[in-house]
Chain A
Amino acid sequence: MVFDTQVQELKYQALKEVATLAWQDNLARGLLGSAARLIPGPQPTMRCCIYKERAIMEERLRMAMGGDPENDNVIEVIDIACDECPVAGIRVTESCRGCIAHRCMNACPKGAISIVNHRAVIDQEKCIECGRCVSACPYSAIVKSSRPCENACKVGAIHMDENKKASIDNQKCIACGACVYQCPFGAISDKSFILDCIDLIQKSENNQKYQVFAIVAPSISSQFHHATVEQVVSGLKALGFFNVVEVALGADMVAWREAQELAEKKFLTSSCCPAFVDYIRKSFPDMAQHISHNLSPMGEIAKYIKRIHPGCKVVFIGPCTAKKAERKQERVKDLVDCVLTFEELQALFDSKEIDLASLPGEALDNASYFGRVFARSGGLAVAVEEALKECGISPDEFTLNAISCNGITECKAALLRASKNVLPNNFIEGMACESGCIGGAGCITHGPKSKADVDKYGHEAMEKTIKDAIEILNF
């Protein structure tokens, strides 16, 4: 298996099925038998019966075709796949002393707590897991064990609805996809725009009507272990893309501008990670004024390509589910036409039976080391430090004191301190995913070697400085 988990494999099967049918222009008819074909049975292997397994597969196919158009969020719960995790819930532990005050009972809005034999007992049928009894007990004798999805969501956007199904609060969700990767039942998924991508390629009529560019995030170097990055480029061209450009070159452009903006404003939070940016806007709105005004590397390189190739289309391919949300923003929607994850790219390759390992390689080498290491936590800060030096901004003018926040919990801590003016740093590099983009929810694999892969890829870049990488763009 090329993926980390069987859940990814199931999602991949749905994506590949939809893509295969779309290439054959047979989606409407072909889909009728898809679920039964993918879940042949006769014995169930995952759920109570094959009919439920097939019903869930139908939902995965729906997500592969874009999900619920009424829901603005790119992350959705697949209700019937949610197992209502029985491991979670509110439990009374042995610490219950059977006190007389019964604060737990009084705090419960549903009358779910009674006292039996001098001990609190929770009626799980009535309990809505609001947690009021947990806070009320002076002995901390009542605990709430959270579900994997709730635990994964560090912004508190997931709770249970009255049917005990996971529910996402779109006002809080930053689309990082942590829940998508963590749910052991695959009950939360990112919507796929794989059909839009196929449509863009097909309607280009072999890039004659317009050219379709693939722009690829630098974390690609930690994916596709059975092939080289150069072979992936050939694979993308075999899919029908006109050419492939490194998003890392956009990262070089961002580092250069970020250095100048920093020297001018003296304090910034990074704008590369869309989930981090969204987190600031939603949870620290007062800090939003400090978000760098730069586009993300994706936006920056797409803007450049569209300028020199008017009328072309740009498809971003990366590790990130939040990029799908970023694309919807007013200032990005005309720059990037579609966003795919590496998981989806794997499905696309296989839907066309493209065997990467058998292809000759084609160069992908425009960006510098610094643009490429944006893919891992700490890389952006290193790049901005280099850009300050290369721009000739002297330490008297501005001295960088960056904090690299690895994961949303660290981002929260730094933002809290910054909002109270007690953060000693003048630049917050925020990455919502653990380890940075290489930990993204749309990655095929999340291995311990990912960081080393990215650094190695960085060192292989022909251009050694940010200036060298971006100088070619100015004519």
Chain B
Amino acid sequence: MMIQVCIGSSCHVKGSYEVKTIFENLIRENQLEEQITLRPAFCLGNCGEGVSVKIDGEPISGVTTENAADIFRQYVLKG
């Protein structure tokens, strides 16, 4: 599985670094390092509120430090 986090300016100022760190920690906690690749991108063509993320090509916008963990559970852990 591939998770891309946008670090383009528009997202960067809304907390890309924090979102990336939350994902990194969750990947580690769930021992998914082998299965999941976390990558940066300079724009996913989906600018809007919050940080833009793509999980296996599926665009998810509006990711924040508050909802990042929920989104990870919903899309990655499917629970």
Contacts and interface: CB of A to CB of B under 8 A. Distances in A.
Contacts of B10: 362-363
Interface string B44-67: 010100000000000000000000
Residue from B5, B16, B41, B43 whose CB has the most chain A CB atoms within 10 Å = B43
A473 B40 CA distance: 7
Interface stretch (A18-26, A114-122, A243-251, A389-397): A243-251
Contacts of B24: 475
B69 to A, nearest CB: 18
Most A Cβ at <10 Å: residue of B20, B38, B40, B45: B40
Nearest to A463: B12
A366 B20 contact: no
A473 B38 CA distance: 12
B75 interface: no
Given A245-B42, A475-B38, A364 B16 contact: no
Interface in B13-41: 13, 16-17, 20, 24, 38-41
A472 B42 CA distance: 11
B8 A245 contact: yes
Given A472-B20, A475-B20, A308 B39 contact: yes
A207 B45 contact: yes
Contacts, number: 53
B68 interface: no
A472 B43 CA distance: 14
B40 A472 contact: yes
B7 A473 contact: yes
Interface in A230-260: 233, 242-246
Nearest to A246: B9
Given A244-B9, A362-B9, A472-B7, A309 B17 contact: no
A355 B43 CA distance: 24
A242 B46 CA distance: 11
A462 B8 contact: no
A363 B13 contact: yes
A475 B39 contact: yes
A308 B13 contact: no
Given A471-B17, A472-B16, A475-B24, A308 B9 contact: no
Interface residues of A, number: 22
B55 to A, nearest CB: 15
Contacts of B9: 233, 244-246, 362-366
Interface residues of B, number: 19
A308 B17 contact: no
A473 B9 CA distance: 13
A-side interface mostly: loop
B13 A243 contact: no
Contacts of A363: 9-10, 12-13
A146 B43 CA distance: 51
A213 interface: yes
Nearest to A462: B13
Nearest to A242: B43
A127 interface: no
Contact of B43 (A243, A246, A365, A471): A243
Given A472-B16, A475-B20, A308 B8 contact: no
A423 to B, nearest CB: 40
Among B9, B16, B20, the one with the most A-chain Cβ atoms within 10 Å of its Cβ is B9
Contacts of B16: 472
Given A472-B20, A473-B7, A366 B12 contact: yes
Nearest to A364: B9
Contact of B7 (A364, A366, A462): A366
A313 to B, nearest CB: 13
A333 to B, nearest CB: 21
- A-B pairs, top 10 by smallest CB distance, nearest first, are A243-B43, A363-B9, A472-B17, A364-B9, A365-B9, A363-B10, A363-B13, A365-B13, A472-B7, A366-B12
23 contacts: A211-B43, A213-B42, A242-B43, A243-B8, A243-B43, A244-B9, A308-B40, A309-B41, A309-B42, A362-B9, A363-B12, A363-B13, A364-B9, A365-B12, A365-B13, A462-B13, A471-B17, A472-B16, A472-B17, A472-B20, A473-B7, A473-B40, A475-B40
Interface of A: 207, 211, 213, 233, 242-246, 305, 308-309, 362-366, 462, 471-473, 475
Interface of B: 5, 7-10, 12-13, 16-17, 20, 24, 38-43, 45, 47
